[in-house]
């Protein structure tokens, strides 16, 4: 069986940093589920250290363990010792891919298609989006379900079909001009990253983001065609592809001419802020990547930083609760700002969600790769949501948004009826000031 390569190359202090105190255990969703050490942060780190020390081989079981881990980074928040779990996690997943311990042509094919092909080319991703949109709009999906077409597909694929997100009527480039200026003299110039999934399924949220930026004196640059940020690749062991995408991102913008690079998807933001580490030994890009990292801001973080204007009108919603995207709160440590955005809206009561920072089970493509554990986490999230009795939940990551929306749709009779995002509510409030209806200008 294969020996470690990447983990051996890793700075040993990263592996050694864990002093196995166990303080992270109660915050780890997989440990809490099974109570087995190998499913805990401390257990996983010990496995990686054993691999690096040559005491353990890179095995299928190790791979399974690293793919059972959500990558939610709750352990990183909990760890007083400052263990860099994100780095260990990404290196470990790259290691198991390198060692090729996961057999199965099918897995290989789907990975190749998504990571090496579709998510590498923005036009291809939009093409896939268009095909899906057509499929949904012509009601072909309903027909397929009626004739039980999915019964003919492999079970795992068939189970996914109802989870396929509703594709937006228009993509971001059809809603946002490449350069939009505020009505008043611009105070800042920012670039807006539209994301991949966000672009084709939640382009309206990108529009909302542009609107709140404009309302706060930001000139907004939005490239019509944008590359994937590469987080999907980095989290799934394709570090080289992630690097390639990071370089493309950096090259796409004139960093000197920008005050900030805005992202509104928690998962992307966390990765976008780590280009410096990803490219640290790239002679040409290392320095640029550092500049890049410093300019990337989550939308809520940026709004609070520039002291965004409190809206004077309400958003047409009276009560909301907030679910935290893991990579926003644990990855980026953006915790209070989204709440500040929500509480700024007149007439809106913000109720705390119990376990608001507990993973909802979306976790990138975890709901596809580990449907069983993903569903357990979703159930837990829905039960917590029910406790708040709030009709609306806000979150700020397309994965969480979809996961919770699908969960609510499937369970029926839940008090919570709607999933939205803090920026959308803020945008609605600003629009209401102008007397524009809740659906906005587009």
Partner 1 sequence: MIEVHVGREENAALVDAAGTRFKLCAVNTASASFIQSLRQVLAPERVLTSDEDLVPYSFDGTAALKQRPGVVVFPLTTAEVAACVKLARDNEVPVVTRGSGTGLSGGSVPLAGCLVICLVKMDKIIELDEKNLTLRAQSGVITKEIDDACAKVGLFYPPDPGSMKISTIGGNVAENSGGLRGLKYGVTRDYVMGIEVVLPDGTQTFLGNKCVKDVAGYSMKDLFVGSEGTLGIITEVILKVLPRPKARKTMLALYDSMEKAAETISAIIAAKIIPCTLEFLDRMTVQCVEDFAKIGLPTDVEALVLMETDGHPAVVEEEAAQMMALAKANGAHDVRAAADEAEGAKLAAARRNAFSALARIRPTTILEDVTVPRSELARMVAFIDDVAKRHRLLIGTFGHLGDGNLHPTFLTNERDHEEMHRIEAALEEIVDETIRLGGTVTGEHGVGLAKKGFLKRQLGEGSYELMRSIKRALDPQGLLNPGKIFD
Ligand X SMILES: Cc1cc2nc3c(=O)[nH]c(=O)nc-3n(C[C@H](O)[C@H](O)[C@H](O)COP(=O)(O)OP(=O)(O)OC[C@H]3O[C@@H](n4cnc5c(N)ncnc54)[C@H](O)[C@@H]3O)c2cc1C
**How far apart (Å, rounded) are the C-alpha atoms in residues 163 and 377?**
16
Residue 391 is encoded by which pair of tokens? 């009709």
412, with CB counted inside 10 A (0-12, 13-18, 19+), is exposed
End-to-end distance of the chain based on CA atoms, in angstroms? 57
Tell me if 81 contacts partner 1 by CB under 8 A. Answer: yes
Q: Choose the binding region for partner 1 from 54-62, 98-106, 366-374, 426-434 (rule: CB under 8 A).
A: 54-62
Please say which residue, 78 or 118, places its beta carbon nearer to ligand SF4.
78
> Is residue 22 near partner 1 by the rule CB under 8 A?
yes
Quote the least distance from Cβ 131 to ligand SF4, whole Å.
Answer: 34
Residue from the set 35, 137, 139, 166 that interacts with partner 1 by CB under 8 A: 35
Of residues 384, 400, 330, 395, the one with CA closest to residue 27: 330
The answer to whether residues 206 and 426 touch, using CB atoms and an 8 Å cutoff, is no
Residue 437, contacted partner among ligand SF4, ligand X, partner 1, none, CB below 5-8 A by kind:
none
Closer to ligand SF4 by Cβ: residue 30 or 194: 30
* Binding residue for partner 1, selected from 4, 7, 43, 122, defined by CB under 8 A: 43
Cα torsion at 31, 37, 38, 39 (round to 10°)?
0
**Could you tell me which stretch among 55-63, 127-135, 216-224, 264-272 binds partner 1 (CB under 8 A)?**
55-63
Residue 25 CB, shortest distance to ligand X, in Å, is 10
Q: Tell me how far, at minimum, the Cβ of 156 lies from partner 1, in Å.
A: 23
Q: Does 19 bind partner 1 (CB under 8 A)?
A: yes
The yes or no reply on residue 229 touching ligand SF4 (CB under 6 A) is no
Site for partner 1 contains 130 (CB under 8 A): no
Q: How far is the CB of 154 from ligand X (least distance, A)?
A: 43
Chosen from partner 1, ligand SF4, ligand X, none, partner binding at 35 (C-beta under 5 to 8 Å by type): partner 1
Which residues, including other chains, have CB under 8 Å from residue 317's CB and lie 6 or more apart? 348, 391, 392, 420, 425, 428
Which is nearer to partner 1, 70 or 221 (by Cβ)?
70
Mark the segment that binds partner 1 (CB under 8 A) among 58-66, 129-137, 194-202, 215-223.
58-66
Toward ligand X, which CB reaches closer, 20 or 351? 20
* Interface with ligand SF4, residue 74, by CB under 6 A: yes
192, 268 contact by CB (below 8 A): no
Contact residues for 148 (Cβ-Cβ < 8 A; gap 6+): none
- Residues 4, 6, 10, 24: which binds ligand SF4 (CB under 6 A)? 24
CA 207 to chain centre: 18
* Residue 339 Cβ vs ligand SF4, minimum distance, rounded to whole Å: 22
Show contacts with ligand SF4 in window 34-53 (CB under 6 A). Answer: 41-42, 44-45
7, 45, 334, 370, 418 from 88: Cα distances, Å: 8, 8, 22, 20, 36
| Closest separation in Å from C-beta 336 to partner 1 | 12
Residue closer to ligand SF4 by CB (options 265, 326) is 326
Q: How far is the CB of 154 from partner 1 (least distance, A)?
A: 26
Q: Does 18 bind ligand SF4 (CB under 6 A)?
A: yes
83 forms part of the interface with ligand SF4 (CB under 6 A)? yes
Which one of ligand X, partner 1, ligand SF4, none interacts with residue 408, CB within 5 to 8 A by kind?
Answer: none
Report the interface residues with partner 1, using CB under 8 A.
Answer: 13, 16-17, 19-23, 25-26, 35-38, 40, 42-44, 46-47, 50, 55-56, 59, 61-62, 65, 79-82
Report the interface residues with ligand SF4, using CB under 6 A.
Answer: 18-24, 28-30, 41-42, 44-45, 69-75, 78-79, 81, 83, 85
């Amino acid at each position: 069986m294969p020996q470690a390569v990447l983990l051996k190359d890793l700075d040993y202090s990263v592996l050694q940093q864990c002093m196995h105190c166990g303080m992270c255990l109660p915050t780890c969703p997989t440990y809490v589920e099974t109570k087995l050490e190998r499913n805990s942060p401390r257990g996983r780190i010990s496995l990686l250290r054993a691999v690096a020390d040559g005491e353990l081989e890179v095995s299928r079981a190790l791979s399974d363990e690293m793919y059972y881990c959500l990558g939610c980074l709750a352990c990183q928040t909990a760890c007083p010792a400052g263990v860099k779990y994100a780095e260990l996690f990404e290196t470990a997943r790259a290691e198991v891919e390198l060692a090729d311990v996961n057999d199965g042509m099918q897995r290989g094919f789907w990975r190749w298609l998504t990571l090496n092909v579709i998510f590498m080319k923005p036009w291809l991703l939009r093409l896939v989006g268009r095909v899906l949109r057509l499929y949904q709009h012509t009601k072909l999906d309903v027909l397929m379900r009626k004739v039980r077409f999915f019964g003919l597909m492999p079970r795992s694929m068939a189970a996914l079909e109802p989870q396929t997100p509703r594709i937006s009527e228009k993509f971001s480039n059809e809603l946002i001009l490449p350069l939009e200026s505020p009505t008043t003299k611009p105070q800042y110039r920012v670039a807006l990253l539209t994301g991949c999934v966000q672009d084709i399924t939640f382009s309206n949220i990108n529009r909302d983001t542009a609107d709140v930026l404009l309302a706060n004196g930001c000139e907004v640059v939005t490239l019509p065609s944008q590359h994937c940020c590469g987080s999907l690749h980095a989290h799934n062991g394709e570090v080289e592809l992630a690097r390639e995408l990071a370089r493309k991102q950096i090259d796409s913008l004139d960093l000197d001419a920008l005050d900030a690079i805005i992202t509104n998807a928690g998962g992307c933001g966390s990765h976008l802020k780590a280009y410096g580490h990803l490219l640290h030994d790239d002679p040409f890009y290392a320095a640029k990547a550092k500049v890049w990292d410093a300019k990337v801001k989550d939308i809520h973080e940026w709004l609070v930083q520039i002291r965004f204007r409190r809206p004077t009108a309400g958003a047409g919603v009276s009560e909301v609760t907030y679910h935290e995207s893991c990579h926003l709160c644990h990855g980026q440590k953006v915790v209070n700002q989204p709440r500040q955005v929500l509480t700024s809206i007149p007439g809106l009561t913000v109720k705390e969600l119990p376990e608001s920072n507990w993973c909802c089970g979306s976790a990138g493509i975890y709901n596809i790769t580990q449907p069983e554990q993903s569903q357990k986490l979703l159930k837990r999230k829905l039960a917590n949501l029910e406790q708040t009795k709030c009709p609306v939940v806000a979150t700020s990551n397309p994965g969480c948004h979809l996961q919770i929306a699908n969960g609510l749709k499937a369970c029926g009779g839940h008090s919570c009826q709607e999933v939205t995002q803090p920026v959308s509510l803020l945008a609605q409030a600003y629009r209401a000031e102008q007397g524009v209806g809740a659906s906005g200008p587009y």
